[in-house]
Amino acid sequence: MDIEQMKVGFMDVFCYLVACMRTKETLVIDPAGDEDRIIERITQKDLDLKYIVNTHGHPDHTCGNARVKALTGAKIIIHELDDQMFNSAQGHEMARQWGFIPSPPADITVKHGDQIVVGDVALKVIHTPGHSPGGICLLGDGNIFTGDTLFVGGIGRTDLPGASTAQFMKAIKEILLTLPGETIVWPGHDYGARPSSTIEVEKMTNPWL
């Protein structure tokens, strides 16, 4: 698994290129701005983009979906609950209010336990509701992409529509914090002292946990 972290857009979102270097098949997680730079990097590395995967449906994470899909033909993947919520009229209005372009509907929806595969790389879908109804993390090969569920030294907010503090903390404590301590945490925003962490470090130092 080849992982490249890119900070994109004006909200310090971390976008990820996750590739199988044998087949060059690739997915992009949360293309949230700077789409031309993302595509340029994919071209430079001679990658074959198959999927656009969103950790959740908030427009700061999905605003690049339309352009990346138009330029590459990659299929959009999101949890079924967030596809329903954020492709509603209310969801599109939220995107416009935040100053973003709404995402097209998902081509593929996923649920807890599903796998997203590119070449030899398989990422397991872990449903972590609370920040949004269909928030997910993606686990594979000792790495977890946590979106707005778990940050370096922080966690996501729970004061937006569809959020639930009780669900959120249950998912974090009963699922994420039970992963092996050496699991590398790749967060959805550059909000911490470092661009990545581990489950063990977050258990020991994250004041929200």
Q: What is the pLDDT of residues 94-139, one digit of tens each?
A: 888 888 888 999 999 999 999 999 999 999 999 999 999 999 999 9
3 three-state secondary structure:
strand
Q: Where are the alpha helices (DSSP H) in 45-152?
A: 59-62, 65-72, 80-86, 89-97
Give the integer Cα–Cα distance in Å for 80 and 109.
5
Give the integer Cα–Cα distance in Å for 168 and 177.
12
Q: Where are the alpha helices (DSSP H) in 56-198?
A: 59-62, 65-72, 80-86, 89-97, 165-174
Taking residues 152-175, report their average pLDDT.
Answer: 95
pTM summary value: 0.96
Look up residue 196 and give its two tokens: 């990545």
Tell me what percent of the residues of the chain surpass a pLDDT of 90: 89
Domain ranges of the chain: 2-205
pLDDT of residue 94: 84
- Would residue 9 be called left, alpha or beta, if left means φ above 0 and alpha means ψ between -120 and 50 degrees? left
Q: What is the pLDDT of residues 4-55, one digit of tens each?
A: 999 999 999 999 999 999 999 999 999 999 999 999 999 999 999 999 999 9
Confidence at 87, pLDDT banded by 50, 70, 90: confident
Do 156 and 13 touch, CB atoms closer than 8 A? no
Q: Measured between alpha carbons, how far is residue 44 from residues 18, 24, 30, 40, 120 in Å?
A: 14, 12, 19, 6, 21
pLDDT of residue 18: 98
Contacts of 83 (CB under 8 A, 6+ apart): 57, 105, 106, 109, 134
Give the integer Cα–Cα distance in Å for 183 and 173.
15
Evaluate if residue 89 carries a pLDDT over 90.
no
Give the integer Cα–Cα distance in Å for 181 and 32.
29
Span between the terminal Cα atoms of the chain, in Å: 29
pLDDT of residue 97: 87
CATH 3.60.15.10 matches 2-205: yes
Contacts of 177 (CB under 8 A, 6+ apart): 199, 202, 203, 209
